[in-house]
Amino acid sequence: PASSSRSCRLEEVPLEVLRQRESKWLDMLNNWDKWMAKKHKKIRLRCQKGIPPSLRGRAWQYLSGSKVKLEQNMGKFDELDLLTGDPKWLDVIERDLHRQFPFHEMFVSRGGHGQQDLFRVLKAYTLYRPEEGYCQAQAPIAAVLLMHMPAEQAFWCLVQICEKYLPGYYSEKLEAIQLDGQILFSLLHKVSPVAYKHLSKQKIDPILYMTEWFMCAFSRTLPWSSVLRVWDMFFCEGVKIIFRVGLVLLKHTLGSSDKLKSCQGQYETMERLRALSPKIMQEAFLVQEV
């Protein structure tokens, strides 16, 4: 929900622990190739524990490979930034700028820096991949990135998400997201037969509840602190984290006959999935379940 971005309070990590984590992460980032080659498991573990907020933006760029991508394409973003762009895309992008995290201080004012950078990043992508253009679900993704890094860095990180992490999600026919909906549903069969049976019986197509979850990588669904923890893991481990989060939410919402008592019908079920219990979305609970 929109309001989630207003509360940026993270789970209380003792200051001392935080300092320790920061120095560990600094060491990793300074010797990145070595760590990636030899101690990938350790990186994964540290991503699961949560990246220190002060280093999050940098870490995401290393994890996603967008840092390398930028270095390989020096000046490319500036080049795209100077171009006008196809009016067909610009029109849609401009109409979406004020609709991303409208309560976040960065995006709150029309034409403010946040919205300007969002425009630059999204426009640059339509020039970088003209055959792909712009998809409305890219805006929240880019906005989250901009909260953590400058426009050029956010652009390359977006490129990595669109091409490496969630390939095809934002493309013309949206086929990849529909396919992943089916995959999620068959995984649910194993993870929670009760939830699976209920959704089948109610004829609730996965596309109905998972489109926004997956296309926005839960950035509009979870409380803010959980979004960040999920993204930390997502950048390290990829799309399977998105699947796992989806499965945890479904299982803990519809996974027992007790839970199903109050949502017998299709619309009650949909309502329930739209307004998930805060308890299961809480950072500590969710991350441990994933």
Residues lying near another protein in the complex (CB under 8 A): 2, 92, 95-96, 98-103, 135-137, 139-140, 171-175, 177-178, 205, 207-208, 211-212, 215-216, 220, 262-265, 267-268, 270-271, 274-275
d(CA 203, CA 198): 8
Nearer to another protein, 26 or 280 (CB): 280
Nearer to another protein, 14 or 87 (CB): 87
User: What burial class does residue 228 get, using C-beta atoms within 10 Å of its C-beta: 0-12 exposed, 13-18 middle, 19+ buried?
Assistant: buried
Task: Name the minimum Å distance from CB 95 to another protein.
Answer: 4
Residue with tokens 């991303």: 100
Nearer to another protein, 145 or 287 (CB): 145
For residue 261, give every residue at least 6 positions away whose Cβ sits within 8 Å of its Cβ, in sequence order, or none. none
**Helix, strand, or coil (residue 93):** helix
Nearer to another protein, 171 or 282 (CB): 171
Nearer to another protein, 159 or 263 (CB): 263
The DSSP line for 129-160 is STTT---TTHHHHHHHHHTTS-HHHHHHHHHH
Task: Name the minimum Å distance from CB 2 to another protein.
Answer: 5
d(CA 165, CA 241): 11
Task: Name the minimum Å distance from CB 96 to another protein.
Answer: 6
Structure tokens at 51: 């990246």
Task: Name the minimum Å distance from CB 208 to another protein.
Answer: 6
Task: Name the minimum Å distance from CB 59 to another protein.
Answer: 27
